[in-house]
Amino acid sequence: MTVSESGTSALDVDTDDERVAGLVDLVTVADGTTDTIPVEAPFDGEQVGAIPACGEADVDVAVERAREAQQSWADRSIAEREEVLSRFQDLVLDRQSELLDVVQLETGKARRTAFEEVQSCALTAGYYSHRGERFLGREKRKGVVPGMTQVEVNHTPVGVAGLISPWNYPFELALSDALPALLAGNAVVLKPAEQTSFTALKGKQLLEEAGLPADLFQVVTGRGPDVGPAMTDRVDYVGFTGSTETGRIVGEQAGRNLLKYSLELGGKNPALVFPDADLDRAVEGLVHGSFSNAGQLCISIERCYVHEDVYDEFLERFVAATENVELGTGYDFEAEVGSLVSEEQLEKVTEHVEDAKARGATVHTGGEPRPDVGPYFFEPTILTDVEMDMDLCCEETFGPVVSVYPFSDTDEAIAEANDTDYGLNASVWTGDTEFGREVARQIRAGTVNVNEAYAAAYSSIDAPMGGMKDSGVGRRHGPEGVKKYTEPQTVAVQKGQGMAPPDGVPYWLYAKVTTGALKLFDKVPGLR
Any idea where the domains of the chain sit in the sequence?
18-265+479-486, 269-466
Q: 62 — alpha (psi -120 to 50), left (phi > 0) or beta?
A: alpha
| Average pLDDT of the segment spanning 433-440 | 98
> What pLDDT is stored for residue 3 in this prediction?
30
Q: Select from 3.30.70.360, 3.10.110.10, 3.40.309.10, 3.40.50.300 the CATH code of 269-466.
A: 3.40.309.10
Q: 415 — alpha (psi -120 to 50), left (phi > 0) or beta?
A: alpha
Do 106 and 113 touch, CB atoms closer than 8 A? Answer: no
Q: How far apart are CA 414 and CA 68, in angstroms?
A: 51
Q: Which residues contact 347 (CB under 8 A, 6 or more apart)?
A: none
Higher pLDDT, 60 or 526: 60
Q: How far apart are CA 99 and CA 115, in angstroms?
A: 9
Q: Which residues contact 113 (CB under 8 A, 6 or more apart)?
A: 292, 293, 338
| Average pLDDT of the segment spanning 69-92 | 98
Which candidate in 264, 336, 396, 452 is catalytic?
264
* Confidence bin at 355 (pLDDT 50/70/90): very high
Do 206 and 219 touch, CB atoms closer than 8 A? Answer: no
> What pLDDT is stored for residue 145 in this prediction?
82
- Say yes or no to pLDDT of 10 above 70: no
Do 446 and 466 touch, CB atoms closer than 8 A? Answer: yes
Fold equal for 18-265+479-486 and 269-466: no
pLDDT tens sequence across 96-149: 999 999 999 999 999 999 999 999 999 999 999 999 999 999 999 988 888 889
pLDDT tens sequence across 228-261: 999 999 999 999 999 999 999 999 999 999 999 9
Q: How far apart are CA 236 and CA 158, in angstroms?
A: 6
For the chain, give the mean pLDDT.
94
% of residues, the chain, pLDDT over 70: 96
| Average pLDDT of the segment spanning 22-48 | 93
* Confidence bin at 517 (pLDDT 50/70/90): confident
> What pLDDT is stored for residue 527 in this prediction?
66
* Bridge pairing between strands 217-219 and 237-241: unpaired
CA 230 to each of CA 32, 37, 159, 188, 215: distance values in angstroms, whole numbers, following the listed order: 17, 19, 17, 15, 19
- Say yes or no to pLDDT of 1 above 50: no
Secondary structure, 3-state, 400-411: CEEEEEEECCHH
| Average pLDDT of the segment spanning 196-209 | 98
* Confidence bin at 459 (pLDDT 50/70/90): very high
CATH fold of 18-265+479-486: Aldehyde Dehydrogenase; Chain A, domain 1 (3.40.605)
* Confidence bin at 14 (pLDDT 50/70/90): low
Q: Which residues contact 51 (CB under 8 A, 6 or more apart)?
A: 13, 24, 27, 36, 37, 39, 194, 197, 198, 221, 222
Predicted model pTM: 0.94
> What pLDDT is stored for residue 70 in this prediction?
98
* Confidence bin at 16 (pLDDT 50/70/90): low
Hey, what amino acid is at 477? H
Which candidate in 54, 298, 304, 393 is catalytic?
298
If we measure between CA atoms, which residue out of 168, 164, 117, 111 comes closest to residue 340? Answer: 168
pLDDT tens sequence across 299-352: 999 999 999 999 999 999 999 999 999 999 999 999 999 999 999 999 999 999
The sheet that has 425-429: what strands, in order across it? 362-365, 381-384, 401-407, 301-307, 269-273, 425-429, 447-450
> What pLDDT is stored for residue 9 in this prediction?
39
Do 440 and 270 touch, CB atoms closer than 8 A? Answer: no
Q: Which of 293-297, 347-351, 506-510, 520-524 has the lowest mean pLDDT?
A: 520-524
Q: Residue 415: count other Cβ atoms within 10 Å of its Cβ.
A: 13
Q: How far apart are CA 15 and CA 47, in angstroms?
A: 9
- Say yes or no to pLDDT of 86 above 90: yes
Higher pLDDT, 180 or 1: 180
According to DSSP, residue 378 is labeled: B
If we measure between CA atoms, which residue out of 135, 356, 166, 354 comes closest to residue 246? Answer: 166
* Confidence bin at 2 (pLDDT 50/70/90): very low
298 is catalytic: yes
Residue ranges of E strands in 132-236: 139-141, 149-157, 160-164, 187-191, 217-219
Judged by DSSP in three states, 220 sits in: coil
Q: How many CA atoms lie within 13 A of 63 on its CB side?
A: 23
Higher pLDDT, 215 or 514: 215
Do 16 and 48 touch, CB atoms closer than 8 A? Answer: yes
pLDDT tens sequence across 382-424: 999 999 999 999 999 999 999 999 999 999 999 999 999 999 9
Do 182 and 153 touch, CB atoms closer than 8 A? Answer: no
- Distance linking the first and last C-alpha atoms of the chain: 57
Query: Long-range pairs for 135-142 at CB < 8 Å and ≥24 separation?
Result: 135/479, 135/482, 135/483, 136/78, 136/183, 136/184, 136/185, 136/482, 136/483, 136/486, 137/78, 141/490, 142/528
Backbone φ and ψ for 422, nearest 5 degrees, come out as -95, 165
| Average pLDDT of the segment spanning 24-33 | 90
